[in-house]
Amino acid sequence: MLLRYRFRLYPTGPQRAALARSFGCARVVYNDAVAARKRAHADGKPYPTTAALSKALITEAKRTPERAWLAEVSAVVLQQALADADRAWQNFFDSLSGQRAGPRMSPPRFKRRSNTQSIRFTRNARFRVLGSGKLRVPKIGDVKVAWSRELPSEPTSVTVVKTATGKYYASFVVALDGEATLPPVEDETGIDLGLKDFAVLSGGKVIENPRFFRRLERKLTKAQRVLSRKQRGSANREKARARVARVHEQIRHRRDDWINQQVATIVAENQGIYVEDLSVRGLARGRGAKSIHDAALGMFTDRLASKAARAGRTFAKVDRYFPSTQLCAACGVLAGPKGREGLRVREWVCRCGAVHDRDLNAAVNILEEGRRMVAAGQAETVNASGGQVRPGTPGIARNTRPAGRNEEPTRTLTTVS
């Protein structure tokens, strides 16, 4: 299993200048590769191979006055830029031929200076974490890293990223075997995802919606409104655009940190974790823009699934049609609040005399149903690589995990921050 670890970097002035050169060179090679293949296509010629492109766009280009500066940066960075262009084409072709799931993709586009920039160093580029804690980056120097946690083993590659807001990150890929990394525990939990509260656990714990969701949402709306009023191409518009990007980044960081904390606690404390399928929630809420809260719910269950898998825990989603809210957890009769009005009922009394908090009762039902499904082999459980396994066909990985922030999608990566 491959994991991605991301840390903030603090390059010095000269290092930033060297990075800018490397970003620029990688972008040029990438764009040249995209252009070369577009040209071949337009001329009705076969697609040039990566080896041919490497020779023409790197080795030979370095000898021309227009591209001589390519020699100033690490050759690995340029090769990796070619590999990225290759993968972008491959993804495009796979999506055309139906081999790749999801919507049709457009052919690779040219990269621009104003977007997120990145360069990747593989192990043969001889990047190194020094005893001092600095990261030695070829042709850049020894860069200061803010280590927020330890790398579990030697990384196989590092991507240096500069965001649209001007921050630098190192994103390490580390290979791990899929063994359980947490000691086994006794408890299991069912989780009801809420509107009023973020989540209610069957043990009675309530995870409240953090206040910063609403606060940052207001901030974003305001920044976007300001941006929409600025004239195209004006300096003020550029400033407003940067502000929107900053708020987005703030939301991403706070939300990710918060979700990671909640997920880590739940996985540490529970051997079995069962949640309801979220597609039902979407229906209950109706259409409209996705709030931070809604987006966070999906992220929360995704990360629970992958973290549970890494820790060797059982994780399953309960069928979307399972009536978790209406079932009485005490007697098993369908007696609870129904439909849209049911969303407003906080507490209800069953015919059997049991008094229920609606969400807690639902969480207990989700726990029981999740256990039943897993025992019966009906659950969509998660395998060690974090991919989903279809019920009844154990061992066949289906979905792939999304890649980390600011990264192009990579099939087997899980983000750890």
Looking at the Cβ atoms of 175 and 333, the one nearer to Zn ion is 333
Is 332 within 8 Å of 291 (Cβ atoms)? Answer: no
Of 96 and 352, nearer to Zn ion (C-beta) is 352
Annotated catalytic residue, options 359, 368, 369, 380:
359
- Residues 6 or more apart whose Cβ sits within 8 Å of residue 60: none
Whichever of 164 and 354 has its CB closer to Zn ion, that residue is 354
- Cα 58 to its chain centre, rounded Å, is 32
Site for Zn ion in 102-121 (CB under 5 A): none
284 three-class SS: helix
Q: How far is CA 373 from CA 212, 309, 364, 380, in A?
A: 36, 17, 14, 9
Shortest Cβ 348–Zn ion spacing (Å): 10
Amino acid letter, residue 175: A
Q: Is 187 a catalytic residue?
A: no
Rounded Cα gap, residues 43 and 36, in angstroms:
11
**Residue 206 vs 354, nearer CB to Zn ion:** 354
Tokens representing 262 are 């909640």
CA distance 45 to 58: 21
Sign of the dihedral through C-alpha 353, 356, 362, 368: negative
Rounded Cα distance, 171 and 88, in Å:
20
Q: How far is the CB of 365 from Zn ion (least distance, A)?
A: 11
CB of 338 to Zn ion, least distance (A): 15
Q: Which amino acid, one-letter code, is at 153?
A: S
Q: How far is the CB of 328 from Zn ion (least distance, A)?
A: 3
Q: Of the two residues 350 and 389, which places its CB atom closer to Zn ion in the complex?
A: 350
Q: How many residues bind Zn ion (CB under 5 A)?
A: 6
Which residues lie closer than 8 Å to 122 by C-beta, 6 or more apart? 76, 80, 156, 157
CB-based contact 5:174 (threshold 8 Å)? yes
Instruction: State in angstroms the smallest separation of the CB of 329 from Zn ion.
Output: 8
Cβ proximity to Zn ion: between 309 and 328 the closer is 328
Interaction residues for Zn ion, span 329-358 (CB under 5 A): 330-331, 350, 352, 354
Catalytic annotation, pick one of 188, 192, 256, 302: 192
- Own/partner contacts of 51-56, CB < 8 Å, gap of 24 or more, are 53/82, 53/85, 54/79, 54/82
Q: How many CB atoms lie within 10 A of CB 295?
A: 13
Min CB(358)–Zn ion separation in Å: 13
Concerning whether 359 is annotated as a catalytic residue, the answer is: yes
The rounded distance, in Å, linking the Cα atoms of 308 and 267 is 6
Q: In the range 313-332, which residues lie near Zn ion by CB under 5 A?
A: 328, 330-331
Parallel, antiparallel, or unpaired for β 141-146 and 135-137? antiparallel
The edge-to-edge listing of strands for the beta sheet with 314-318 is 206-208, 197-201, 188-193, 272-276, 314-318, 380-381
Q: Pull the structure tokens for residue 148.
A: 């927020």
Closest to Zn ion by CB, 157 or 361: 361
Is the Cβ of residue 365 or residue 414 nearer to Zn ion in the bound state? 365
83 touching Zn ion, by CB under 5 A: no
Rounded least distance, CB 356 to Zn ion, Å = 8
- Residue 343 corresponds to which amino acid? L
Q: Give the shortest CB-327-to-Zn ion separation in angstroms.
A: 9
Of 32, 84, 188, 276, which is the active-site residue?
A: 276
Residues near Zn ion (CB under 5 A) are 328, 330-331, 350, 352, 354
Catalytic positions? 192, 276, 359
